[in-house]
Amino acid sequence: MAVSPDTFPPRKRRPSAGSFVSDKKLLQSLLLLSREICSLQPLRFLLKQNTSSVSRKSRLLSILFEELLQREERGPAAVTGYPPSALLCFEELYLLLQRIKTLVEDCTNSNCSKMWLLLQIQSISNSFHHLTMELSILLDIFPVKELNLCQEVQELLVLVKNQSLAGKEAYLDSHDNNLRLQLLEMLDSIQRGIVPDPSHLTRIFDRLCLGDSTSCRDEIENLQEQVVQNQSDHKSKADIIAVIGLVRYAKCVLYGASTPSTETGPSSSRLRRTASDLNIPADFRCPISLDLMQDPVVVSTGQTYDRASISLWIDSGHNTCPKTGQNLSHTDLISNRALKNLIAAWCREQRIPFDSSAEPHVRSCSNGVIVNKTALEATKMTASFLMSKLTACQSVEMANRVVHELRVLAKTDSDSRTCIAEAGALPLLVKYLGSEQPSLQINAVTTILNLSILEANKTRIVETDGVLNGVIEVLRSGATWEAKGNAAATIFSLTGVHAYGKKLGRKTRVARGLVDLARDGPASSKRDALVAILNIAGGGDREAIGKLIEAGVVDMVREVMGDGLLEEAVSILEVVVKRGGLMAVAASYHVIEKLGVVLRDGSERARESAAATLVNMCRKGGSEMVAGLAGVPGVERMIWEIMGMGTGRGRRKAATLLRILRRWAAGLDEDVTSTYSSTLNNNTTNANTTTSGIPTTRIVLPA
């Protein structure tokens, strides 16, 4: 693996020197700046000579600025002022010292990756050399005689100039360069599938002061920050992700698996954020996956989706728009570049990864980082090592640490999920699903959830003995709400495959577990349970609807309508009514009145689902249902509002609802259900392709 010296060009900040209102102000700023550079601690492990050298030169320059300020305070110079050549040199010195300070800060910042410094040590050494040469040029033209400086200060400036000129080439410590070559050689070996010698790993990591799990975890986060800062350079990102794989492997091999830090101090707030940690604007989410769109595209109906999600939908044989249920006149996908630019700008503000230049043919990780073979081999080695540790675990504590590492690794990207599953993780995780230690159970079920994101792993989970039953048992009787919620999310993920959705929907334990969780769990767990119920109910299997009704899904939905989960709740009602659960819905207390409230106060999507549900109830339930709807105060005004300002589907359903009400009012109630059979096939087709616009393939990765 070769890394170009120009991979990470040095950052340059050039503040304006023209903002100073007086010569004295400029000198004071120069003195303060030179002292700030002196106060920066040189690196202990890399570039020590370079950082120490510029610090010494800045200390000597501070003597010059002190002398000039003292002369101003004595009076005469303040009156006569400085010659133009001196002022020009002062301004250029200010800009140069600012650049020196920035470079030193970049190298000594605790948030800077040490591995990144090592890989770029040649380029950084060149930057120090160029700045030193610029300093020597400035000192060479500095008007010493015009300023009437004392002999000691003149000699001091000559000394600094000579020191700056002494190095004809950039200084590169031979030990630093050898360490860099060792790292590159190790990365090349990993690319060829050769497992690194632990002693060689120890030598590199000790030299970089990466001596424990915590420092390695911080190093991974710092490297991920470099990914954010280098979005446009695919080669650099691939190199960084390869190093991340090495650090993750070394962390496990050298220091063992570890649980996450519980720090609450300032350092813990610096952790790199991901999209799942933030409140993503609704317009930036894909309607199918509900994740942040990386490559938004527009389909023929005018709706926008993430390219990966809609491509999978179309490749699965669907010819309708998931959100509207309309037939696609063509399958061309048109890039929504305006929205993509808005998403990229938002990601930059939030400091989360976003690959704004990614194209469909580019193979990338979930965070937009291009994968190379070195990263893949490092991930395989890490997964294999963790499997061997988990097999040999003799204590619950050690097992918990190893399973937590697997959980974190399974969250990173698809290659990690593949490597973990192929290494045989699922059979080993089964026994920990029933662990009496809550954290171990949570880590085990969440690892399975993260693995299930990969389509191939869904089959492995269903076909591996004990895994599916273990997840269902956690759903029913898990030790914590978090464990139950992640089990529900796993069920939801598996229902993305139609056959597995039907299989799960016919299990009484699944139905009862999801309904109980949706009724009694905390908000996040409720949502996981509701979307899983929605997927199962939308599968078109009447047996699954029967199981859900027996478990009390209708009463549960009525209860959660006021818990901020209105869209999911009403959508479940709609599907239950379509699939033969009308009597159960009708028997629920005041359900029509509640749907009337949704028509008035709900979101666009909730109002659309409520209108569709009421249409089906009125068509199937006859005049009694219509009479109940007609008794809702102001119902016609609500329907007119939806017809004027609702979604396309909502307007159509509202118009149908209004026709039903008017026929009933005119005494034509026998016609209420006469048109039902002629439209049943169309409604059923739409129901199979959409669930009132509620996505059916959302995956959320827990931390």
Task: Please tell me the predicted confidence (pLDDT) of residue 317.
Answer: 65
Residue 542: pLDDT band with limits 50, 70, 90: confident
Query: Does 334 score more than 60 pLDDT?
Result: yes
Residue 569: pLDDT band with limits 50, 70, 90: confident
Of the candidates 109, 113, 104, the one whose C-alpha atom is nearest the C-alpha of residue 50 is 104
Cα 7 from Cα 431, distance rounded (Å): 47
Interstrand relation of 296-298 and 304-306 (parallel, antiparallel or unpaired)? antiparallel
Residue 349: pLDDT band with limits 50, 70, 90: confident
Higher pLDDT, 234 or 97: 97
Cα 230 from Cα 224, distance rounded (Å): 10
Residue range 150-157: mean pLDDT, rounded:
86
Q: Which residues contact 650 (CB under 8 A, 6 or more apart)?
A: 604, 607, 608, 611, 642
Q: What confidence tens digit (pLDDT) does each residue in 643-675 have?
A: 888 778 888 988 998 898 888 888 775 444 444
Cα 491 from Cα 494, distance rounded (Å): 5
DSSP for 430-469, written as a single string: HHHHT-SSHHHHHHHHHHHHHHHTSHHHHHHHHHSTTHHH
Task: Please tell me the predicted confidence (pLDDT) of residue 358.
Answer: 44
Residue type, 325: G
What are the backbone dihedrals phi and psi of residue 316, each rounded to the nearest 5 degrees, phi first? -80, 0
Residue 633: pLDDT band with limits 50, 70, 90: confident
CB 556 within 8 A of CB 515: yes
Q: What single-letter DSSP state applies at residue 372?
A: -
3-class secondary structure, 614: helix
CB 118 within 8 A of CB 179: yes
Higher pLDDT, 255 or 682: 255
CB 147 within 8 A of CB 154: no
Q: Which of 8-12, 101-105, 479-483 has the lowest mean pLDDT?
A: 8-12
3-class secondary structure, 335: strand
Q: What confidence tens digit (pLDDT) does each residue in 381-439 have?
A: 999 999 999 998 888 999 999 999 999 999 888 889 999 999 999 999 999 999 889 99
Query: Does 259 score more than 70 pLDDT?
Result: no
Query: Does 5 score more than 70 pLDDT?
Result: no
Query: Does 176 score more than 90 pLDDT?
Result: no
Share of the chain above pLDDT 70, in %: 81
Of the candidates 440, 463, 437, 439, the one whose C-alpha atom is nearest the C-alpha of residue 452 is 463
Task: Please tell me the predicted confidence (pLDDT) of residue 689.
Answer: 37
Residue range 460-474: mean pLDDT, rounded:
93
Reduce the secondary structure of 98-159 to three states and give it as a string.
HHHHHHHHHHHCCCCCHHHHHHCHHHHHHHHHHHHHHHHHHHHCCCCCCCCCCHHHHHHHHH
Residue range 475-479: mean pLDDT, rounded:
91
Query: Does 446 score more than 90 pLDDT?
Result: yes
CB 605 within 8 A of CB 647: yes
Query: Does 626 score more than 70 pLDDT?
Result: yes
Higher pLDDT, 78 or 476: 476
Query: Does 365 score more than 70 pLDDT?
Result: no
Task: Please tell me the predicted confidence (pLDDT) of residue 440.
Answer: 93
Task: Please tell me the predicted confidence (pLDDT) of residue 303.
Answer: 84
Query: Does 500 score more than 70 pLDDT?
Result: yes
And the tokens for 500?
A: 């597995």
Tally of CA atoms within 13 A in the half-sphere of 209 that contains its CB: 9
Share of the chain above pLDDT 90, in %: 19
Residue 163: pLDDT band with limits 50, 70, 90: confident
Task: Please tell me the predicted confidence (pLDDT) of residue 588.
Answer: 66
Q: What confidence tens digit (pLDDT) does each residue in 276-296 have?
A: 445 677 778 887 766 788 889
CB 226 within 8 A of CB 113: yes
- 320 beta partners: 327
Query: Does 585 score more than 80 pLDDT?
Result: no
Query: Does 493 score more than 50 pLDDT?
Result: yes
Task: Please tell me the predicted confidence (pLDDT) of residue 517.
Answer: 92
Cα 545 from Cα 528, distance rounded (Å): 18
For the chain, what is the mean pLDDT? Answer: 79
CB 647 within 8 A of CB 608: yes
Q: What confidence tens digit (pLDDT) does each residue in 10-27 have?
A: 444 444 444 454 678 888
Instruction: Confirm whether pTM is higher than 0.95.
Output: no
Query: Does 263 score more than 80 pLDDT?
Result: no
Cα 529 from Cα 511, distance rounded (Å): 10
Q: Which residues contact 248 (CB under 8 A, 6 or more apart)?
A: 216, 220, 378, 379, 382, 409
Q: What confidence tens digit (pLDDT) does each residue in 603-614 have?
A: 888 888 888 888
